[in-house]
Amino acid sequence: MAGEPVNVNEFEELARQVLPKISYDFFSGGAEDQHTLKQNIEAFRRITIRPRILVDVSKIDMSTIILGHKTSAPIIVAPTSSHQLAHPEGEVATARGAAACNVIMGVAFTSTCTMEEVASSCKAVRFIQTFAFKREITANMVQRAERNGFRAIILTADTPRLGRKEADIKNKMIAPPFKNFEGLISTVAVSDKGSNVEAYAAETLDPSFCWKDIAWLKSITKLPILIKGVLTGEDATKAIEAGVAGIIVSNHGARQLDYTPATISALEEVVHAVQVKVPVLFDGGIRRGTDIFKALALGAKAVLIGRPVIYGLAAKGETGVKQVIEMLKNELEQTMALAGCRTVDDITRSHVNTETERMECRM
């Protein structure tokens, strides 16, 4: 590709060019038919923006507060696995890039750098992500997270077992050693067929983990808990009853159950169920500042950015991470100005029309 990238999609093309096919497929792919993977992006295109004119937008303030932490924009780096497959410096480079942009970073427990390495790399607000692991693994993670200054726990709750990613199976994907598991399990999981990622999952995940177990997790930590993977009003209500500090609307980047709704299509149902009792965050399909604007208008407090950050990391390391985040911030600022919104709190439901609303208007 000639010239510098001017949008996030061009960073994906750069990443595709520099990464081995097996690594690119691991980061970019989704479950089974990849229907939800496509819809996560396509669904944004069915939402239109209703701008306001003649508003004083000489100063735009994108800052917001998430769980008491002020951030430069309503953007969080999503917790994603295996950053060293994208760049030798891995999550340390990602953390520095996020810190330079003054945004919160989610660090996956399945990272290729330890949480201690990430914590010592720079000063920033970070959340640690965990799955429904077996209890001894979870307890170890919580203790280390608290010791290393992490500010919240993201419980990814949509993974009692791994989704079926056919590209990884065909490629016989070999996951790198997950350093956070050293001393807890063997970090050289072996499988004689297909991806070895399933071997890790079988040894670490607890498929019996359910709503009542959140009480146990709360009992072993003082950190606030965000639950990730909520797509329905019913589960949002259960999450509130369980006492979580926040909800992340997510279909796991379409890597788990195919034919779930695009997350932007599920967002409002969750927001209505929560009724502002806790912040609702959004994850899935963000590629433009206009996408961020639409998610905020539909009730999200902030959005998580996953694959685009990985693509920036693969293309240019820490610099690429910064460029991707700043691109999205700049696009959001532009969208807010052109839509007549001076602050993120000015972005309201009346600023967007969904496909359903447009169809109703025609009837």
Q: Which residues are annotated as a binding site for glyoxylate?
A: 252, 255
Annotated binding site for FMN: 129, 156, 228, 250, 283-287, 306-307
Helix, strand, coil % in the chain, rounded to nearest 5: 45, 15, 40
Annotated binding site: 129, 156, 228, 250, 252, 255, 283-287, 306-307
- CA–chain centroid gap for 165, Å, is 18
User: What is the number of helices (H) and of strands (E) in the chain?
Assistant: 14, 12
The three-point CA angle 12-114-101 to 5° equals 50
- CA–chain centroid gap for 13, Å, is 20
Contact 288, 7 (CB under 8 A): yes
User: What positions carry a catalytic annotation?
Assistant: 252
Residue 94's contacts (CB-CB under 8 Å, 6 or more residues apart) are 77, 83, 105, 309, 313, 318, 321
- Cα distances (Å, whole numbers) of residue 320 to 11, 105, 316: 8, 15, 4
